[in-house]
Amino acid sequence: MTTKTNPGNFFEDFRLEQEIRHATPRTVSAGDAALYTALYGSRFAVQSADSFARQLGLPAAPLDDLLAFHIVFGKTVPDVSLNAVANLGYAECRWLRPVYPGDSLHSVSRVIGLKENSNRKTGVVYVRSTGYRGSEAVLDYVRWVMVKKRDESAAIRQEHVPQLAGRVAPEQLQVPAGLDFAHYDWGLAGSPHAWEDYAAGEKIDHVDGMTIEEAEHMLATRLYQNTAKVHFDQFRQGREKLGRRLIYGGHIISLARALSFNGLANAAFIAAINGGRHVNPTLAGHTVYAWSEVLEKAELPGRKDVGALRLRTLALKDQPAAGFPDKDAAGKYPDCVVLDLDYWVLMPRQS
Amino acid sequence: MTTKTNPGNFFEDFRLEQEIRHATPRTVSAGDAALYTALYGSRFAVQSADSFARQLGLPAAPLDDLLAFHIVFGKTVPDVSLNAVANLGYAECRWLRPVYPGDSLHSVSRVIGLKENSNRKTGVVYVRSTGYRGSEAVLDYVRWVMVKKRDESAAIRQEHVPQLAGRVAPEQLQVPAGLDFAHYDWGLAGSPHAWEDYAAGEKIDHVDGMTIEEAEHMLATRLYQNTAKVHFDQFRQGREKLGRRLIYGGHIISLARALSFNGLANAAFIAAINGGRHVNPTLAGHTVYAWSEVLEKAELPGRKDVGALRLRTLALKDQPAAGFPDKDAAGKYPDCVVLDLDYWVLMPRQS
Amino acid sequence: MTTKTNPGNFFEDFRLEQEIRHATPRTVSAGDAALYTALYGSRFAVQSADSFARQLGLPAAPLDDLLAFHIVFGKTVPDVSLNAVANLGYAECRWLRPVYPGDSLHSVSRVIGLKENSNRKTGVVYVRSTGYRGSEAVLDYVRWVMVKKRDESAAIRQEHVPQLAGRVAPEQLQVPAGLDFAHYDWGLAGSPHAWEDYAAGEKIDHVDGMTIEEAEHMLATRLYQNTAKVHFDQFRQGREKLGRRLIYGGHIISLARALSFNGLANAAFIAAINGGRHVNPTLAGHTVYAWSEVLEKAELPGRKDVGALRLRTLALKDQPAAGFPDKDAAGKYPDCVVLDLDYWVLMPRQS
Each residue of B255-288: pLDDT tens digit? 999 999 999 999 999 999 999 999 999 999 999 9
Beta-carbon pairs below 8 A across chains A and C: 140
Q: Using pLDDT thresholds of 50, 70 and 90, give the confidence band for residue B1.
A: very low
Say whether B51 and C222 touch across the interface (CB within 8 A).
no
Residues of A in contact with B245 (CB under 8 A): 211
Say yes or no to pLDDT of B240 above 80. yes
- Could you tell me if B132 and B9 lie in one domain? yes
DSSP annotation of A64: P
Q: Output the pLDDT for position B177.
A: 95
Q: Output the pLDDT for position A2.
A: 57
Q: Residue B262 is nearest to which of C2, C6, C31, comparing CB atoms?
A: C6
Q: Output the pLDDT for position B2.
A: 57
* Nearest-CA distance B3 → chain A (Å): 8
Q: Residue C31 is nearest to which of B29, B214, B263, comparing CB atoms?
A: B29
Residues of A in contact with B19 (CB under 8 A): none
Say whether C49 and A106 touch across the interface (CB within 8 A).
yes
**In whole numbers, what is the pLDDT of chain A averaged over residues?**
96
Q: Output the pLDDT for position C36.
A: 98
Please, what is the Cα angle at B150 between B144 and B151, to 5 degrees?
A: 120
Q: Residue C45 is nearest to which of A25, A227, A234, comparing CB atoms?
A: A25
Domain membership of residue B294 (yes or no) is: yes
- Could you tell me if A124 and A207 lie in one domain? no
Say whether C236 and B189 touch across the interface (CB within 8 A).
no
3-state secondary structure chain C: CCCCCCCCCCHHHCCCCCEEEEEEEEECCHHHHHHHHHHHCCCCHHHHCHHHHHHCCCCCCCCCHHHHHHHHHHHHHHHHHCCEEEEEEEEEEEECCCCCCCCEEEEEEEEEEEEECCCCCEEEEEEEEEEEECCEEEEEEEEEEEEECCCCCCCCCCCECCCCCCCCCHHHCCCCCCCCHHHCCHHHHCCCCCHHHCCCCCEEECCCCEECCHHHHHHHHHHCCCCCHHHCCHHHHCCCCCCCCCCCHHHHHHHHHHHCHHHHCCCCEEEEEEEEEECCCCCCCCEEEEEEEEEEEEECCCCCCEEEEEEEEEEEECCCCCCCCCCCCCCCCCCCEEEEEEEEEEEECCC
Q: Using pLDDT thresholds of 50, 70 and 90, give the confidence band for residue C85.
A: confident
Q: How far is CA B78 from CA A74, A259, B237, C329, in A?
A: 34, 14, 19, 65
- Could you tell me if C202 and C89 lie in one domain? no
Q: Residue B31 is nearest to which of C24, C34, C233, comparing CB atoms?
A: C34
Residues of C in contact with A3 (CB under 8 A): 263
- Domain with B119 in it: 1-152
Q: Using pLDDT thresholds of 50, 70 and 90, give the confidence band for residue C127.
A: very high
- Could you tell me if C314 and C207 lie in one domain? yes
State the complex-level ipTM: 0.97
Domain membership of residue A318 (yes or no) is: yes
Say yes or no to pLDDT of A266 above 70. yes
Chain B residue with Cα closest to A218: B215
Mean pLDDT of A181-195: 97
Chain B residue with Cα closest to A36: B223
CATH number at residue B61: 3.10.129.10
Say whether B236 and A61 touch across the interface (CB within 8 A).
no
Q: Output the pLDDT for position C157.
A: 79
Chains that contact C by 3+ CB pairs under 8 Å? A, B
- Could you tell me if C103 and C47 lie in one domain? yes
- Could you tell me if C36 and C131 lie in one domain? yes
- Could you tell me if C30 and C121 lie in one domain? yes
Residues of C with CB under 8 A from a CB of B: 1-6, 21, 23-27, 29-32, 34-35, 78, 101-102, 104-106, 134, 213-215, 218-223, 225-227, 229, 232-236, 245
Domain edge (last residue) among B121, B152, B183:
B152
Q: Using pLDDT thresholds of 50, 70 and 90, give the confidence band for residue C3.
A: confident
Domain edge (last residue) among A100, A130, A152:
A152
Domain membership of residue B298 (yes or no) is: yes
Q: Output the pLDDT for position B244.
A: 97
- Could you tell me if C15 and C129 lie in one domain? yes
**In whole numbers, what is the pLDDT of chain C averaged over residues?**
96
Q: Residue C21 is nearest to which of B61, B188, B199, comparing CB atoms?
A: B188
Each residue of A190-221: pLDDT tens digit? 999 999 999 999 999 999 999 999 999 999 99
**In whole numbers, what is the pLDDT of chain B averaged over residues?**
96
- Could you tell me if C136 and C197 lie in one domain? no
Each residue of B187-227: pLDDT tens digit? 999 999 999 999 999 999 999 999 999 999 999 999 999 98
- Could you tell me if A104 and A2 lie in one domain? yes
Q: Residue A31 is nearest to which of B34, B102, B234, comparing CB atoms?
A: B34
Say yes or no to pLDDT of A1 above 80. no
- Could you tell me if C137 and C207 lie in one domain? no
Chain B residue with Cα closest to A196: B1
Q: Using pLDDT thresholds of 50, 70 and 90, give the confidence band for residue C1.
A: very low
* Nearest-CA distance C265 → chain B (Å): 27
Say yes or no to pLDDT of A133 above 50. yes
Say whether C234 and B32 touch across the interface (CB within 8 A).
no
Number of domains in chain C: 2
Say whether C37 and A214 touch across the interface (CB within 8 A).
no
Domain membership of residue C178 (yes or no) is: no
* Nearest-CA distance B114 → chain A (Å): 24
Domain membership of residue B291 (yes or no) is: yes
Chains that contact A by 3+ CB pairs under 8 Å? B, C
- Could you tell me if A199 and A341 lie in one domain? yes
Domain membership of residue C181 (yes or no) is: no
Q: Residue B262 is nearest to which of C5, C26, C214, comparing CB atoms?
A: C5
The answer to whether residues A204 and A282 touch, using CB atoms and an 8 Å cutoff, is no
Each residue of C146-178: pLDDT tens digit? 999 999 998 887 899 999 999 999 999 999 999
Domain membership of residue C134 (yes or no) is: yes
* Nearest-CA distance B177 → chain A (Å): 24
